[in-house]
Amino acid sequence: MRFLYSVFIVAVLSAAAAYFLPWWSVAVVCFLAAMFMKQSGGRAFLMGFCGVGLQWLTIALLSDVANDHILSSRMASLFHLPSYVLFIAVTVFIGGLVGGLAALAGALLSPKAAVRQV
């Protein structure tokens, strides 16, 4: 339950940060969330990956449905992808990797992790 709670927190905070700040601000949110929630490296990576992936999926689907898949279809053809669904999946995967790696770095640099390694 704590994991789902942390994924929800990361998704909401990263959506708020991405609304007002550049796209990479989600990495800062994931880094700080993993540092303060004191989770293991694997759980922190999954937390960041799922949280940011969920947030990017929501934003991509809302934008995509609003313009009848025109933009995502054109972007998919620009990158030689067969469909706009694959383009959205690649977008979500890239966002998840950014969030997951930032959360992993935050978990490994947390004070609890430093004590555990000594």
For 5-17, write each residue's pLDDT tens digit: 889 999 999 999 9
Structurally, the chain folds into a number of domains equal to 1
Rounded-to-integer distance, Cα 102 and Cα 29, Å: 8
The model carries a pTM of: 0.86
pLDDT in tens, 29-78: 999 999 888 788 899 999 999 999 999 999 999 999 999 889 889 999 99
Rounded-to-integer distance, Cα 101 and Cα 40, Å: 13
The first and second tokens of residue 49, run together, are: 């990956």
